[in-house]
Amino acid sequence: MRRSSRAAQCMAWMAGMLTAAWSCLALASAPVVVLPLTGAIGPASAAYVVRGLEDAHKQGAQLVVLEMDTPGGLDASMRQIIQAILASPVPVAGYVAPGGARAASAGTYILYACHVAAMAPATNLGAASPVSIGIGGHAPPGPTPNPGDTAKPASAPAAASSNEDTLARKQMHDAAAYIRGLAQLRGRNAAWGERAVREAVSLDASEAANQRVIDLIANDVPDLLKQVDGRTLRTATGTVTLHTADAQVQTLEPGWRNHFLAVITDPSLALLLLTVGVYALIFEFSTPGMVVPGLLGAMCILVALYGLQMLPINYAGLALISLGLGCMVAEAFLPTFGALGVGGIVAFILGAVMLIDTQTPGFGVPLPLIVSMAFVSLTVILLLSSMAVRARRRPKVTGGDTIIGMTGELLELDPTDPRDPAAGWVQVHGERWRVHCDGPLARGDRVRVTARHGLTLNVVPA
């Protein structure tokens, strides 16, 4: 009995060892996926990271390296990325690289959310203050008033300023609490995270490592994998021990869909597509039957609206742009001689300035582009107006009144009315007309038509 129990224990121990060895071997053979995240963080970046984390989990990856170089981005896209990282069963290592890269603003929040935070030499992070929303932004938040201070504002502008300061403080406190929660979750320096939000401070790689803002400094991705080898990380589904020293590295580049999404969510391109689409529809309506301009115009407008709906747009600005484009369309069909067109251009400029409801870098419409598009629109309006004026001054070429102003030769006096020496027959424009003149006429005289009454022309000597 003793021998059988010992044999059973030995077999169980060997089975456990084999299972552990097999697990270690399988984990060691699991790949490491690298996701490059460059440029401003927007809807395309968020979709790329979320899809990349899902693909890494399907491939059985043991670690995802989020290689960042970003100046910041939109708050909604940043939070979408952070939620995906926190819910990922695969641990994520945020890595600011290569040398000279940065993880500013939204990049700092994402780095705090990662399971491992690393930076390459000569990189920096920080400046994570929330960017004010609206035209011109808000003033920096001032000191919090004392509860016992019962002083009242002296005027309406002071009350408006107080409301703006309250909104700015709410945004600041919300951002500070968010990064503090991420820091406490990952065991990093929460005090400096709040300073990065409230004071917009920044750190280089060595200072960040000394102040426990990041976990390590790595020269490149292989160096990073060697340093995190053997670490145990807690994910949404449990703990994972990394074996990354000799792991295979796979880089998942953004696909064509992400590139397309990044292009159409550029506010400048969306505004340009919207304008081109309207002009194409004007051309189609003015020359029916072309088909191609109308089809291209409708496609441009739909793609532009798809890109704009993913951005934090100001609906008042979008309404002004629509009003301006509508006035330009009406100018092409109504005889206003430029009045509607100029008003539409003014509305278009105001709407383009107000269109994007954020001051985040990389998501604004450049003023030179707005001026250039307004100049092109003004040129088109002036061209249409000049064509309308020339058409108004041009003599008539069809209808009965076209004969007025023409000259002819008196063929004969009217024999049916010999008492009226001012009546006769002339040939004008190859046609024979009965005429009447206020003065006497003689056969062969040259006359000019001044009016028409039915089939009788009034003439004067030419």
Report the alpha-carbon distance of residue 79 to residue 142 in Å, rounded.
27
On whether both 456 and 319 belong to a single domain, the answer is no
Contacting residues for 460 by C-beta, under 8 A, at least 6 apart: 437, 438, 439, 447, 448, 450
Look at residues 255, 284, 312 and tell me which one is the last residue of a structural domain: 255
On whether both 384 and 454 belong to a single domain, the answer is no
Q: What is the pLDDT of residue 397?
A: 57
Report if residue 193 sits inside a domain.
Answer: yes
Report if residue 169 sits inside a domain.
Answer: yes
214-249 pLDDT, tens digit each: 999 999 999 999 999 999 999 988 899 999 988 899
Q: Give me the CATH number covering residue 53.
A: 3.90.226.10
412-458 pLDDT, tens digit each: 776 666 556 667 788 887 788 888 777 777 777 788 888 887 778 88
Pair of tokens at residue 394:
């041009």
Number of domains the chain is built from: 4
Report if residue 146 sits inside a domain.
Answer: no
pLDDT band of 82, cuts 50, 70, 90: very high
Nearest Cα residue to 115 out of 25, 237, 205: 237
On whether both 86 and 17 belong to a single domain, the answer is no
Please list the alpha-helical segments (H only) found in 332-431.
339-354, 367-393
On whether both 122 and 85 belong to a single domain, the answer is yes
Would strands 431-437 and 446-453 be described as parallel, antiparallel, or unpaired?
unpaired
On whether both 40 and 13 belong to a single domain, the answer is no
On whether both 361 and 438 belong to a single domain, the answer is no
pTM over 0.75: no
On whether both 9 and 57 belong to a single domain, the answer is no
Q: Give me the CATH number covering residue 444.
A: 2.40.50.140
Q: What is the pLDDT of residue 459?
A: 84
CB 420 within 8 Å of CB 406: no
CB 300 within 8 Å of CB 277: yes
Look at residues 375, 393, 411 and tell me which one is the last residue of a structural domain: 393
On whether both 57 and 196 belong to a single domain, the answer is yes
Pair of tokens at residue 262:
């990044």
CB 320 within 8 Å of CB 354: yes
Q: Could you report how far apart the first and last alpha carbons of the chain are, in Å?
A: 143
**Three-state SS for 287?**
coil
Q: Which domain holds residue 415?
A: 400-461
**In angstroms, what is the C-alpha Rg of the chain?**
39
User: Average pLDDT of 272-276?
Assistant: 87
Report if residue 143 sits inside a domain.
Answer: no
On whether both 300 and 375 belong to a single domain, the answer is yes
On whether both 193 and 276 belong to a single domain, the answer is no
Report the alpha-carbon distance of residue 22 to residue 20 in Å, rounded.
5
Strand segments, DSSP code E, in 76-115 are 92-96, 102-104
Report the alpha-carbon distance of residue 378 to residue 321 in Å, rounded.
15
On whether both 222 and 77 belong to a single domain, the answer is yes
364-421 pLDDT, tens digit each: 777 888 888 888 878 877 777 777 667 666 666 555 667 777 888 877 776 666 556 6
Report if residue 93 sits inside a domain.
Answer: yes
Look at residues 232, 255, 278 and tell me which one is the last residue of a structural domain: 255
Report if residue 91 sits inside a domain.
Answer: yes
CA dist list (Å): 44 to 231, 307, 359: 32, 10, 18
CB 90 within 8 Å of CB 64: yes
Pair of tokens at residue 284:
């189609």
On whether both 82 and 228 belong to a single domain, the answer is yes
Q: Count of alpha carbons within 13 Å of 8, Cβ hemisphere only?
A: 5
